[in-house]
Chain A
Amino acid sequence: MNAARAPLASAAASPIDVAAVRRDFPILAREVNGKPLCYLDNAASSQRPRSVIDAISRYYETSHANVHRGVHRLSQEATDQFEGARESLRRFVNARSSREIVFVRGTTEAVNLVAQSYARPRLQAGDEIVISWLEHHANIVPWQMVCEQTGARLRVIPITRSGEVDFDAFLGLLNERTRLLALAHVSNALGTVVPVERFIREARGRGIPVLLDGAQAVPHMAVDMQALDCDFYCFSGHKMCGPTGIGVLYGREALLEAMPPWQGGGDMILAVSFERTVYNALPWKFEAGTPHIAGAIGLAAAVDYLERLGLGHIAAAEQALLDYATDRLREIPGLEVIGTAPHKAAVVSFTVAGVHPHDLGTILDSEGVAIRTGHHCAMPVMDFFGVPATARASFAFYNTRAEVDRLVAALDVAREMLG
């Protein structure tokens, strides 16, 4: 299935042609409320290129059967494509082995898997898990649950007014009871890129394993498991131009090997009798039941697409949009940007004096502009900045400067109407 892939180096050598890229995404041609769609909610979920949609359709039209089971032709083809997708993902994040790539429903399930299968059997009352104030609820609640189950304590690294994780405070939180560090790679609510390398070095130097929530990082920058040297890395397909309902847990092989299965069922076993069950090898030990085969194949197509564009070019294009959007938004009287870290992904969270974010969302929608408003599943971040909610524009490589201009114009409409 990988034979058709374009040679990466030559294809990635040219910068992104945004007009051509936009033609790859059928949904970008539609209208909302009589205006061309201006989709600026990519941190919630990105859109899909035709190649991903086609890969899923082609699979269902030509090759679908259950995987890892039949000797018949279709089952073998489905298995080859599914395991081929795993190898694509392995290469994409530069893991040592495809045994370290576990398919899950998404980042949330990946974090829960680690909380229940890695942390829960090891934690004792008084042990500590360290997270940061920036976290998405998906990297808070699973740890709260495991703390409740074990008597462990959750410790939270504070953030600064610019929205950066306080490294000195982090050092102060580490002690002999620290059992795990779980940290966002990129903040979904503010866009802060956390300098995770420093945190990983410090934690691993003390023998503390590290989990990274990479949901907002993987779509926008090249990530390398061997270079990062973290223990677990979690991400979702739907934020990186892939399908919903599929994601990846990367885990260091030695740790995954030592962990008990999370869910029981078919596919995760080698032999079952009523006396004893022998579990399957990695990574299938963690993939009970028929997997999301089409999702994995679609995700591999998304990886192909992103690699053809080049993650470096994607990051550069998005950074240029972020800089332009930040400058334009700051011209608006009464607009305050929440989250001003020097190193950010293409996310701008903001408030407008006198206009509630929820009203902004409705008024912008009437102009065809889709943004997220609310707490962004990061209520502690909102509490920290003393706001009930923010408006958030988040950009992808297929967005344009003209769309930033439309955002600014729509905000003027909102201010005129309600400000």
Chain B
Amino acid sequence: MDLKDLYRDVIVDHNRKPRNFRPMPDADRHAEGFNPLCGDRLTLYVKLDGERISDVSFQGSGCAISVASASLLTESVRGRTVPEAEQLFTSMHQLLTRDDAAVDPAALGKLAALSGVRQFPARVKCASLCWHTLDAALHRDAEPISTE
């Protein structure tokens, strides 16, 4: 278990300077995510152009893993269609939870930096919170998303 595998440079950078960290007053969709165990809380905003995600942003507070994961999410789903984003959610879920994940890290781009989280089971929820929240936003779930 190597800490450097968890806190890779990309993650440290996105934690210090989260991208797309802003409210979106004209969002088409938004959802809230909450991890009661550690108090992580985030709101995810999505703007849609038909089936395409034209803008995505987030706000909130949390640990380095949850902030970096949300920041990386916003960069990687912008411009994708809703089904493509859902496919990415499935791939990320596999990457974070399965040792035998049949996911090509190259296809995930910077998101692959989160593959080290799998070795730290207590931290998987930190990384996946934003993805569950995106899923809720895209499906217009009214209830806040909780990891518990």
Chain A interface residues (CB < 8 Å from chain B): 33, 355-359, 362-363, 366, 373-375, 382, 388-389, 417-418
Q: Report whether A388 and B41 are in contact in the complex, using a CB–CB cutoff of 8 Å.
A: yes
Which residues of chain B have C-beta atoms less than 8 A from A388's C-beta?
A: 38-41, 61-62
B interface, size bucket: 20 to 34
Which residues of chain B have C-beta atoms less than 8 A from A366's C-beta?
A: 1, 3
Q: Report whether B15 and A418 are in contact in the complex, using a CB–CB cutoff of 8 Å.
A: yes
Q: A33-B1, A359-B64, A389-B38 are in contact. List 13 more A-B contacts (CB 8 A).
A: A358-B40, A358-B126, A359-B7, A359-B63, A362-B122, A363-B3, A374-B39, A388-B61, A388-B62, A417-B3, A417-B12, A418-B7, A418-B64
Which residues of chain B have C-beta atoms less than 8 A from A389's C-beta?
A: 38-39
Closest approach, in angstroms, between the C-beta of B57 and any C-beta of chain A? 20
Q: Report whether B3 and A382 are in contact in the complex, using a CB–CB cutoff of 8 Å.
A: no
Q: Report whether A373 and B38 are in contact in the complex, using a CB–CB cutoff of 8 Å.
A: yes
Q: Report whether A358 and B63 are in contact in the complex, using a CB–CB cutoff of 8 Å.
A: yes
Does B6 lie at the interface of the complex (its beta carbon under 8 Å from any beta carbon of A)? Answer: yes
Q: Report whether B12 and A418 are in contact in the complex, using a CB–CB cutoff of 8 Å.
A: yes
Which residues of chain B have C-beta atoms less than 8 A from A375's C-beta?
A: 36, 39
Closest to B6 in A: A362
Closest to B4 in A: A417
Does B114 lie at the interface of the complex (its beta carbon under 8 Å from any beta carbon of A)? Answer: no
Closest approach, in angstroms, between the C-beta of B59 and any C-beta of chain A? 14
Q: Report whether A356 and B120 are in contact in the complex, using a CB–CB cutoff of 8 Å.
A: no
Closest approach, in angstroms, between the C-beta of B117 and any C-beta of chain A? 10
Q: Report whether A374 and B37 are in contact in the complex, using a CB–CB cutoff of 8 Å.
A: yes
Which residues of chain B have C-beta atoms less than 8 A from A358's C-beta?
A: 38, 40, 62-63, 65, 123, 126
Chain B interface residues (CB < 8 Å from chain A): 1, 3, 6-7, 12, 15, 36-41, 61-65, 120, 122-123, 126
Classify the interface of chain B: helix, strand, loop or mixed: mixed
Q: Report whether A382 and B39 are in contact in the complex, using a CB–CB cutoff of 8 Å.
A: yes
Which residues of chain A have C-beta atoms less than 8 A from B37's C-beta?
A: 374
Which residues of chain A have C-beta atoms less than 8 A from B7's C-beta?
A: 359, 363, 417-418
Report the bound CA distance from A363 to B3 in whole Å: 7
Closest to B62 in A: A356
Report the bound CA distance from A306 to B110 in whole Å: 54
Which of A33, A356, A363, A382 has the most C-beta atoms of chain B within 10 angstroms of its own C-beta? A356
Which residues of chain B have C-beta atoms less than 8 A from A359's C-beta?
A: 7, 63-65
Report the bound CA distance from A33 to B2 in whole Å: 9
Closest approach, in angstroms, between the C-beta of A362 and any C-beta of chain B? 6
Closest approach, in angstroms, between the C-beta of B90 and any C-beta of chain A? 26
Closest approach, in angstroms, between the C-beta of B70 and any C-beta of chain A? 13
Which residues of chain B have C-beta atoms less than 8 A from A33's C-beta?
A: 1
A-B CB proximity, top 3 nearest:
A388-B39, A356-B63, A358-B63
Identify 27 residue pairs between A and B in the complex whose beta-carbon atoms are under 8 Å apart, listed by A's number: A355-B64, A356-B38, A356-B63, A357-B63, A358-B38, A358-B40, A358-B62, A358-B65, A358-B123, A358-B126, A359-B63, A359-B64, A359-B65, A362-B120, A362-B123, A366-B3, A373-B38, A374-B39, A375-B36, A382-B39, A388-B39, A388-B41, A388-B62, A389-B38, A417-B7, A418-B12, A418-B15
Closest approach, in angstroms, between the C-beta of A35 and any C-beta of chain B? 12
Report the bound CA distance from A359 to B63 in whole Å: 6
Which residues of chain B have C-beta atoms less than 8 A from A356's C-beta?
A: 38, 62-64
Which residues of chain B have C-beta atoms less than 8 A from A382's C-beta?
A: 39
Closest to B38 in A: A358
Report the bound CA distance from A195 to B85 in whole Å: 57
Closest approach, in angstroms, between the C-beta of B103 and any C-beta of chain A? 23
Report the bound CA distance from A130 to B35 in whole Å: 30
Report the bound CA distance from A300 to B18 in whole Å: 54
Closest to B123 in A: A362
Closest approach, in angstroms, between the C-beta of B47 and any C-beta of chain A? 28
Which residues of chain B have C-beta atoms less than 8 A from A362's C-beta?
A: 3, 6, 120, 122-123
Which residues of chain A have C-beta atoms less than 8 A from B3's C-beta?
A: 362-363, 366, 417
Closest approach, in angstroms, between the C-beta of B35 and any C-beta of chain A? 9
Closest approach, in angstroms, between the C-beta of A381 and any C-beta of chain B? 12
Report the bound CA distance from A193 to B65 in whole Å: 35
Closest approach, in angstroms, between the C-beta of A165 and any C-beta of chain B? 24
Closest approach, in angstroms, between the C-beta of A356 and any C-beta of chain B? 4
Closest to A367 in B: B3
